[in-house]
Structure 1
Amino acid sequence: MNSYFFNLNIPYQTYLSHYSGQASSIVVHTDQGLRLQLPASRFRPFVTQLGLKGRFRLVTDANNKFIKLESL
């Protein structure tokens, strides 16, 4: 398994206006310097009235298939 750590700070209105479509994605830069593109729908459980803010950990399998996304 692989773990990738990153921070996000996207205001609520920005998240809604840019990422409300089904095919939309969010691009993040990990602490390791990697650029990852994830479906915006994976972040919906973490969106609050303030938006999408905080530190996250993405866990993937050996083939880089999504396992889970956690808010830290």
Structure 2
Amino acid sequence: MALVVVDVALAAHKFLDMYQGKSKYLLVQSRDGRRIQLPLTIFRPFLTHSGIYGTFEVEFDQNYRLLDIKKK
């Protein structure tokens, strides 16, 4: 299993692009320098009126399938 830490700062109007069909993924850079494409839907539980902001731990299995995401 792999654990990746990412910092996200996404304004609410950008998240709306997902609902409008303009965006499905968020490209982020992990703290160790890797670039990771994550589905926007996994961030839905963390969405506030101002957007999605914070540090997240993303866990993958050995095949790089998403297992879990937690806000630190």
Percent of aligned pairs sharing the same letter: 27
In structure 2, relative to structure 1, the CA distance for the partners of 1:22 and 1:9 (3 Å cut) is: same
What TM-score results when the alignment is normalised by the length of structure 2?
A: 0.89
The alignment status of 1:68 with 2:71, answered yes or no, reads no
Counterpart of 1:47 in structure 2 is 47
Which stretches of structure 1, 4 residues or more, deviate above 3 A after TM superposition?
none
Counterpart of 2:18 in structure 1 is 19
- Distance across 1 between alignment mates of 2:15 and 2:22: 13
Structure 2 unaligned regions, length at least 5: none
Q: What amino acid is the match of 2:18? A: Y
- Distance across 1 between alignment mates of 2:22 and 2:44: 12
User: Shift of residue 62 of structure 1?
Assistant: 1.3
The DSSP-based 3-state class of the residue aligned with 1:67 is strand
User: Shift of residue 50 of structure 1?
Assistant: 1.3
- Distance across 1 between alignment mates of 2:11 and 2:22: 19
Q: What amino acid is the match of 2:36? A: L
Aligned length: 71
CA RMSD, Structure 1 to Structure 2 (Å): 1.5
The DSSP-based 3-state class of the residue aligned with 2:41 is helix
